[in-house]
Amino acid sequence: MKYPILLPNIFNYPFTYRSDLKLKVGDYVVVPFGKSKITGVVWDEFEKKKNKKFKVKSILQKLKVSPLNKNTIKFLNWFAEYNIVPKGMALKLVLLSSIAIEDKKKEAYKDFKSSIKKTSLKLSDDQKKSLDKMIISSQKFRVHVLQGVTGSGKTLVYFEAIKLKIKQGFQGLILLPEIGLTGQFEKKFYEYFGFKPAIWHSGISKKTKELIWSGVSNGNIKVVIGARSSLFLPFQRLGLIVVDEEHDQSFKQDEGVIYNARDMAISRASFENIPINLVTSVPSIETYENIQKGKYSLSRLNQRYKNASLPNYEIINLNNSKLEKQSWLSKKIIEKVNFHLKKKDQVLFFLNRRGFSPHVLCNKCFNSFTCPNCSINLVYHKNKNNLLCHYCGYKTLLKRSCSKEGNCEFIFSGPGVERISEEVKKKFPDKIIEIFSSDTMNKKKSILKLEKIINNEIHILVGTQLISKGFHFPSLNCIVVVDIDLSSQGYDLRFAEKNLQLYHQLSGRAGRSGKPATVYFQTYNNNVNMISDITNSNPDIFLSQELEIRRKNKLPPFQRFISLILTGNNERKLEEESLNFKYFIQKNIEGKVLGPVNAPIFRLKKKYRMRLLIRASKSMKLQNSLIKIIPKYKFSSGIKLSVDVDPINFN
């Protein structure tokens, strides 16, 4: 008998194989492919070949793995079509290094045994109301948004919803935007449920991944907490998906297979016909629009847990308070911080720039140090004493010969967190100070550092936006925004929305245990109304205004954008190819093609980059036409195309 077998590679169709085995859709098999053996899945339709005779090879083996859910297969077919990627590459997201893991003995999963303990934590009346809304018609697909001020106990509400699903025999998936959150979150989960969830992200070992993959597939693992890629695990009986911090831009995968994990989670829930909960303090503009249209249901938590008050806001106008030379902290800020430290408050200095200085130049030859592979500045990291590219990872030493004479004399323009930390140490020499950024929090010792922060053993933090991502620091009652940047870079249409979400999240780190807290904005910017807007306790006011601007200008979410990036080694050849490609596609699609233009980061990882942007009405027509037309265009040697449906960043 013949079977269609989809393989995890760049093909958009399954291959035909034969076998005497009785197989069904979703079975995992091993088949010959070229000179190698490869794992594939029995798919739901045959390849479409026209009048071509081909030799049909035999399936070598059926694997002892629970079959891939038919609804998951339908989701993967849709995923490939929506994101304009080959079906085989969609399947590759499900498999583990292109293989399926056979079932293990039941004892192997004993650490994940889901015996739910009784909890002493009790929901408030508002939390109970939100839970009731969340679990209405919770057997079928629906999108529910749980919106609540930071620190209002949103996590407890959806923990209760997951508990109900586990008791009904289902599995649950919690998506988090950052792997740095999983450690603290795992502890909170264990305290509530009394058993370990499976943690899934790029940092876990191959052995652990194999155990989790097989346990999810055979139903022995009930709850997964993970980053984007956990969405593609082969759940046997998925019953509920939760996307925490649904607004977070980190849910966008922008390398390899490009997709938005939040949007794809909603689609997977739809195909599985199960409920999904989006959790946030400030919804994304897309989610907000769907709430307004009545497409998503909504419940709110307007009070912090145990009635802790929200922080106050104070603006420190730097036009009235001159900074000392090579200083970024005003005298007024130092006074405020001393006041908080005397009260045993923890303090955070916030600056969303890694390293010591984002721009280094020579005082003699005026040479600015840029990456040789990318068209961006190298960032000086004093702790490592090197210049680093934050895009391609290029490193070089600071010391170099000057074109004038001798060695270069360096000027460090602008501060990063390392530079602020250096100044803070001078101002507060007797305090314990730590930097909180992706450079310092991606190692094993970060768990120990988090414990020290929670126990108030660290007096002052200097952090980037990573610190705004949902951490709970009970003693943090003073936040200093070193330099609030309200100047939009012209190519980022989401800048206002990002600012709103960032500063709401950041403010939410303060005052969580009930003590009075203040966020200080240090700025030269006189736009006080903008700061008031983005810190307003009701973010809906700002979102409504932003939505109206998008509507008038026919921007997402009212139109679809698809970004096409062409890359190549030869700049002139790339420009010609980009124009030829534009003329080719615009004849065959229902949409307006803008460009080509140089991408804002024109050179990345030694490749030049040109951008085309297609805008059209929101339907699958555009993707359907692009899927058909792109394979018909023959790109010149060395030119590559990447497609980004619903782009978030325009770099």
Q: Is 472 helix (H, G, I), strand (E, B) or coil?
A: coil
Q: Are residues 123 and 258 in the same domain?
A: yes
Q: Are residues 65 and 139 in the same domain?
A: no
In the predicted model, is pLDDT for residue 353 greater than 80? Answer: yes
d(CA 74, CA 77): 5
pLDDT in tens, 424-444: 999 999 999 988 887 777 656
Q: Is 608 helix (H, G, I), strand (E, B) or coil?
A: strand
pLDDT in tens, 263-306: 999 999 999 999 999 999 899 999 999 999 999 999 999 877 66
Q: Is residue 268 assigned to a domain?
A: yes
Q: Are residues 339 and 433 in the same domain?
A: yes
d(CA 383, CA 422): 11
The residue among 126, 79, 417 whose CA lies nearest residue 259 is 79
Name the one residue in this structure whose structure tokens are 């194989």: 17
The bridge status of strand 410-413 relative to strand 346-350 is: unpaired
- The pLDDT value recorded for residue 117 is 75
pLDDT band at 485 (very low <50, low <70, confident <90, very high): low
- The pLDDT value recorded for residue 526 is 65
Mean pLDDT calculated for residue range 305-334: 81
Q: By mean pLDDT, which of 94-98, 244-248, 413-417 is the weakest?
A: 413-417
Q: Is residue 99 assigned to a domain?
A: no
Residue, of 282 and 506, whose pLDDT is higher: 282
Q: Is residue 102 assigned to a domain?
A: no
- The pLDDT value recorded for residue 456 is 86
For residue 334, give Cα distances in angstroms to 341, 367, 436, 462.
10, 35, 20, 14
Q: Residue 447 is part of a domain; what is its CATH number? A: 3.40.50.300
Mean pLDDT calculated for residue range 336-349: 92
In the predicted model, is pLDDT for residue 649 greater than 70? Answer: yes
Q: Are residues 8 and 31 in the same domain?
A: yes
- The pLDDT value recorded for residue 487 is 47
Q: Are residues 321 and 454 in the same domain?
A: yes
Tally of structural domains, the chain: 4
Q: What does 273-303 look like in DSSP terms, one character per residue? A: T-EEEEEESS--HHHHHHHHTTSSEEEEE-S
Q: Are residues 6 and 90 in the same domain?
A: yes
Of the candidates 284, 306, 328, which is a domain's last residue?
306
User: Edge-to-edge strand order for the sheet containing 433-436?
Assistant: 312-317, 518-523, 476-481, 346-350, 460-463, 433-436
The bridge status of strand 36-42 relative to strand 2-6 is: antiparallel
pLDDT band at 464 (very low <50, low <70, confident <90, very high): confident
Mean pLDDT calculated for residue range 143-164: 90
Q: By mean pLDDT, which of 70-74, 183-187, 255-259, 402-406 is the weakest?
A: 183-187
Q: Are residues 507 and 481 in the same domain?
A: yes
Triad 192, 195, 197: Cα angle to 5°: 95
- The pLDDT value recorded for residue 489 is 46
In the predicted model, is pLDDT for residue 519 greater than 70? Answer: yes
In the predicted model, is pLDDT for residue 71 greater than 90? Answer: yes
Q: Is residue 385 assigned to a domain?
A: no
Residue at 62: amino acid letter: K
Of the candidates 69, 94, 119, which is a domain's last residue?
94
pLDDT in tens, 367-386: 888 899 998 889 999 888 88
In the predicted model, is pLDDT for residue 133 greater than 90? Answer: no
pLDDT in tens, 354-366: 888 888 888 888 8
Mean pLDDT calculated for residue range 503-507: 79
Q: Is residue 257 assigned to a domain?
A: yes
Residue at 135: amino acid letter: I
- The pLDDT value recorded for residue 124 is 85
In the predicted model, is pLDDT for residue 630 greater than 80? Answer: yes
- The pLDDT value recorded for residue 442 is 63
Q: What does 504-537 look like in DSSP terms, one character per residue? A: HHHHTTSSTTSS--EEEEEES---HHHHHHHH-S
d(CA 185, CA 560): 35
**High-pLDDT (> 70) share of the chain, %:** 95
Mean pLDDT calculated for residue range 327-351: 91
Q: Are residues 14 and 121 in the same domain?
A: no
Q: Are residues 511 and 601 in the same domain?
A: no
Q: Is residue 283 assigned to a domain?
A: yes
Beta bridge partners of 299: 146
Q: Are residues 331 and 434 in the same domain?
A: yes
- The pLDDT value recorded for residue 366 is 81
Q: Residue 611 is part of a domain; what is its CATH number? A: 3.30.70.600
- Name every residue whose Cβ is closer than 8 Å to that of residue 450 and which is 6 or more positions away in sequence: 183, 184, 471
In the predicted model, is pLDDT for residue 316 greater than 90? Answer: no
Residue, of 168 and 620, whose pLDDT is higher: 168
Q: Are residues 18 and 129 in the same domain?
A: no
Cβ-based neighbour number of residue 444 at 10 Å: 8
Q: Is residue 336 assigned to a domain?
A: yes
Of the candidates 94, 121, 155, which is a domain's last residue?
94
User: The pTM is what?
Assistant: 0.90
pLDDT band at 191 (very low <50, low <70, confident <90, very high): confident
The domain of 499 spans 308-356+415-547
For residue 621, give Cα distances in angstroms to 81, 82, 120, 166, 583.
11, 10, 52, 39, 19
Residue, of 219 and 310, whose pLDDT is higher: 219
Residue at 126: amino acid letter: D
Mean pLDDT calculated for residue range 581-609: 91
Mean pLDDT calculated for residue range 475-494: 72
Mean pLDDT calculated for residue range 158-179: 91
Q: Is residue 410 assigned to a domain?
A: no
Q: Residue 27 is part of a domain; what is its CATH number? A: 3.40.1440.60
Q: Are residues 455 and 327 in the same domain?
A: yes
Please provide the average confidence, as pLDDT, over all residues in the chain. 88
